[in-house]
Chain A
Amino acid sequence: MELKTPLYDAHVQAGGKIVPFAGYLLPVQYQTGVIKEHMAVRTQAGLFDVSHMGEVLCEGKDALANLQMLLTNDFTNMVDGQARYSPMCNEKGGTVDDLIVYKKSDDHYFIVVNAANKDKDYQWMLDHQFGEVIFTDVSDQYAQIALQGPKAMEILKKLTSEENIPKKYYHAVFDSEAAGIPCIISKTGYTGEDGVELYLASENARKMWDALLEAGKEEGLIPCGLGARDTLRMEAAMPLYGHEMDDEVSPLETGLGFAVKMAKEDFIGKAAIEEKKPNNRKRVGLKVTGRGIIREHQDVYADGQLIGHTTSGTHCPYLGYPIAMALVDAGHAEVGMKVEADVRGRRVEAEIVALPFYKRSK
Chain B
Amino acid sequence: MELREELKYAKSHEWVKEEGEECTIGLTDYAQSELGELVFVNLPEVGDEVTAGEVFGDVESVKAVSDIYSPVTGVVSEINEELLDEPGLINEQPYDAWLIKVKDVTEKEELLSIEEYEAFVESEKNK
Closest chain A CB from B86 CB (angstroms) = 13
Q: Which of B39, B40, B42, B62 gathers the greatest number of chain A CB atoms within 10 Å?
A: B62
Interface residues in A225-256 (C-beta closer than 8 Å to B)? 227, 230-231
A188 within 8 A of B: no
Residues of B within 8 A of A292 (CB): 40, 42, 60
Cβ of A295 under 8 Å from chain B: yes
| CB-nearest residue of chain A to B61 | A34
Q: How many residues of A contact B (CB 8 A)?
A: 18
Chain A contacts for B58, CB-based, 8 A: 344
Chain B residues near A322 (CB-CB < 8 A): 39-40
A227 to B39, CA, bound (A): 14
Q: When the two chains form their complex, are residues B39 and A33 in contact, meaning their CB atoms are under 8 A apart?
A: no
Interface of A is mostly: mixed
Contact yes or no, B62 A315, CB < 8 A: yes
Task: Check if A143 is an interface residue, CB within 8 A of chain B.
Answer: no
B127 at the interface (CB under 8 A from A): no
Q: Establish whether residues A34 and B63, one from each chain, have CB atoms under 8 Å apart when the complex forms.
A: yes
Q: Is B46 an interface residue (CB 8 A)?
A: no
For B36-68 the 0/1 string (1 means CB < 8 A from A) is 110110100000000000000010111101000
Minimum distance in angstroms from B69 CB to a CB of chain A: 15
Give the CA-CA distance A29 to B35 in the complex, in Å. 12
Asked if A314 CB lies within 8 Å of chain B CBs, one says: yes
From 186 to 230 in chain A, residues with beta carbon under 8 angstroms from any chain B beta carbon are 227, 230
Query: B37 and A35: CB pair below 8 A?
Result: yes
Please determine whether A231 and B62 come into contact, CB atoms closer than 8 angstroms: yes
Q: Which of A291, A314, A346 contacts B62 (CB 8 A)?
A: A314
Q: Mark A133-162, 1 if CB is under 8 A from B, else 0.
A: 000000000000000000000000000000
Report the minimum CB–CB distance from B79 to chain A (whole Å): 14
When distances are taken between beta carbons in the complex, the residues of chain B under 8 Å from A34 are 36-37, 61-63
Nearest residue (CB) in B for A34 is B62
18 contacts across the A-B interface (CB closer than 8 A) = A28-B63, A33-B36, A34-B61, A35-B37, A35-B62, A227-B36, A227-B63, A230-B63, A292-B40, A293-B39, A295-B65, A314-B62, A314-B63, A315-B39, A322-B40, A344-B58, A344-B65, A346-B42
Using a CB–CB distance below 8 Å, which chain B residues touch chain A? 36-37, 39-40, 42, 58, 60-63, 65, 84
Contact surface of A with B, Cβ cutoff 8 Å: 28-29, 33-35, 227, 230-231, 291-293, 295, 314-315, 317, 322, 344, 346
